Structure 1
Amino acid sequence: MRLPVVAGLVGLLVLAGLQPAAAASKPSKVGLVSFVGADYSRSHSTASLTLDWPNAPRAKKYQVFMSKSYSMKKAKTFSVKSSKIKISKLSAGRDYFFRVRGINGKKKGKKSNRVGHTTIVRPGPSKGLVPIRVMTYNLCSAVCDQKATTRYPWMKTATSGSAAPRQPAALERIAAANADVLATQEASALKTPPPGYAEAINASAKRLYFRESRLQLADKPAYTYEAGDKNGCRATTSPDAQAGHIFLGWHSKGCRYAVWAELVDKSTGRHFLAVNVHTVAGTSATAVANRRSEMDLLFAGVAQINRQKLAVVFAGDFNSHKNRTPDVVGAAMRSHKFRDAFDLARTLDRQHYNSYNNFKTAPVISYKWGDHVDHVFVDPSRSRVDAWRNIVLIGNDGRLVKPIPSDHSPLVVDVRLG
């Protein structure tokens, strides 16, 4: 009996030690695309971004789409065999958006979610730099104990039942960061400085600490509080003090302040200002207007205090980010020539994890920009940012480890001040 032509051909291939090629399978959708590196070329005045993503099953290579628009209009396409790419010769200080898909022969997988990042706007100084590690952490030490539905006790109390206290977990994250400057917000219940730190100032539930082995307060008089106005609000502290507060207005049923300290690097004698900020929360038109007013008063206060034109580092919970329209905080910072360390960092870690975790064990992911209401801002002409990290503690199961210390996750930035 004659074999069909196809069967006969397969038989001949098998006898010859060859196998017919299997039909290519469609690759899986590419997972979360992350920005793991950034740089700036001094010789060409251009920037670069390095992207990484998980290997997509059945993908033999990848197509990377890049656009200056979130719509991906006029996207440029790159082809790579590995799940990582460095793209150079990008415009400095410009927004770029990316999508990636896997390719297997003629089969094309689904494109990844769009992710965006801003390139480094300028390289910063190249010498005479002082490395400073900055940590900002909203501890919600008191308010979160008062939530009606579930208790998140800062310390063990008779009424907290079997719930584990949060303070030890927060102190563990602070110790793990090993920061030089520690800016904490909603920290009224953090009564004792973390080991190795001294407190520069404590006002309006904001505490600003510095690592005693590295830094010291400027040799100036200690701050004093003036008499309050009719609402009990005190004016901005005298610029001749070593630390103090900046009055940001009266609204949301209270006096609003930022706190600051003039710090000195012991090894070099270099002075700089650290400013701890917590702007008003909310997305209403009133909240936005209040934040705008707070930023105006913040910079007016800094100008009054910083008569020596020292380098300034702003850290805190600003309740604003790129995905909020309008981002009045970002606009105010840029108008005064400050940029988010997130957009200046040479390396990023967990940039898609929202820094507001709301006590959820599953990380809150933002694809477009990587939301974070907590920020560190620096002047890119006077600093270089080496790293930006969200250091929330994640277990082997990919979830936040309980007890979660706060409804905010701690951010750590390595910056070198010029």
Structure 2
Amino acid sequence: MEKIDTPYRYFPWFTGALMAGVLVVPGFYALLSLWLALFGAWHVRGWTQRIWRPSLAIGAMPIWVGMAVYVLFGVTTGLFHGYKAAYFEAYVPMFLAPFIVNAVVVARPPVKMLWLGAATAAVLAGLVGSYQSLYLLMGRAGGVMNNVIMFGDLAVVLAMVSAFGAFFGVNDADPKWMRRFMFLGAAMGVWASLLSGSKGGWISILMLSVILVWMALRHWHWVRRVAVAGAVLGGVVAAAFLAPPDLVVNRISQGLQGASAWFTTGQITEGSVSIRLEKWKQAIGMVADKPLTGWTTEGSVIEIDKRLRQTSAGAYPGGGRWTQTENDLLQAAIVHGVPGLASCLFLYIGFLWGFIRIRQQDVQNALWVGVAAVGALLVVLMLEFGLSVVVLGRNAFRHTLIAWAMLALAYLILFRSQRPAQK
């Protein structure tokens, strides 16, 4: 079960190269989805027997239902309001999802492609981030992303996959360098996130450190697990102090001061925490005013900008126009009301519930547990990122969520075809 022989020798190399470049080569995060989907569409014959029935057998129904509800609501709403074609781009990754799964099941690439692809991507992200922040002195590292927050958050995703690969994806028959390289990928992914200055991903780093240690060392006594988890957390904090102060320590301090000022006086004093708190406050009011229909895409942009200017009175020095709430679920609620919020929750909960159900089918198998956990934690990470950025409103997040979750699901289908789950 630890190795899958592929009839397409080029597939893991080409796919792995696309995976490796998702943060450092323009457009690779979308090309990865498109390549897998095209390959899967070319071999679509027999899809029902090869993908649909096996996925249901392992408990993936919530995943498909969650995507279906999200796409059906979004597309129907878009057609009803007459939105432009760009609006429907948000649903492209979901339409590609079944073909992505089919591609992996047909090609049967070694499972190491998942772990090594993520680790290589994380290492490259760390190197590019270091070059941008420490050598070019560009400040916050962003790789090739048009937003440093996306770079920092997605680096955490790569670090997570790398770390799970090191603990669950390597066996005694594999070369020793493989596990070391995956640990390097995990460290470099965390480092890239720190260099991005994106505070939204740092909570995830701490959370993942504890979850991973607790799962990987599940056979140890709880006292030893607590000690190791504490040591890992200490290492993450030490890394934060090694990064330039303006990117980590100072930003944390400014964020805490901004939150304190907002809760005390209601003033917007900086462009990260206090402005987001004010946006969320105004968004809740907008949802209360139009809970069923929402404000539509264009209407929400106009209304939130209007409300922020009325309340802040120009206090925010950044100026410009505020168009989003910087919160995934609140953004869905103000645009399309409570039904829009419900469609997002269907997507997230469907993925999370599906991968948790799948994991329970073979809890004694480390590789099965590791891959299923990657799928579940992808959703947890996106939900956490969504507290400070609109995840489902950005291509890089959408393609990463769908493509990497479908990779995990495809491998689980392959594993089941090789060996039935234990009962």
Report the structure, 1 or 2, having the larger helix content: 2
On whether the aligned pair clears a TM of 0.5, the verdict is no
Q: Which has the larger radius of gyration?
A: 1
Q: TM-score, normalised by structure 1?
A: 0.29
Report the structure, 1 or 2, having the larger strand content: 1
Q: TM-score, normalised by structure 2?
A: 0.28
Q: With CA pairs under 8 Å and 6+ residues apart, which has the higher RCO, 1 or 2?
A: 2
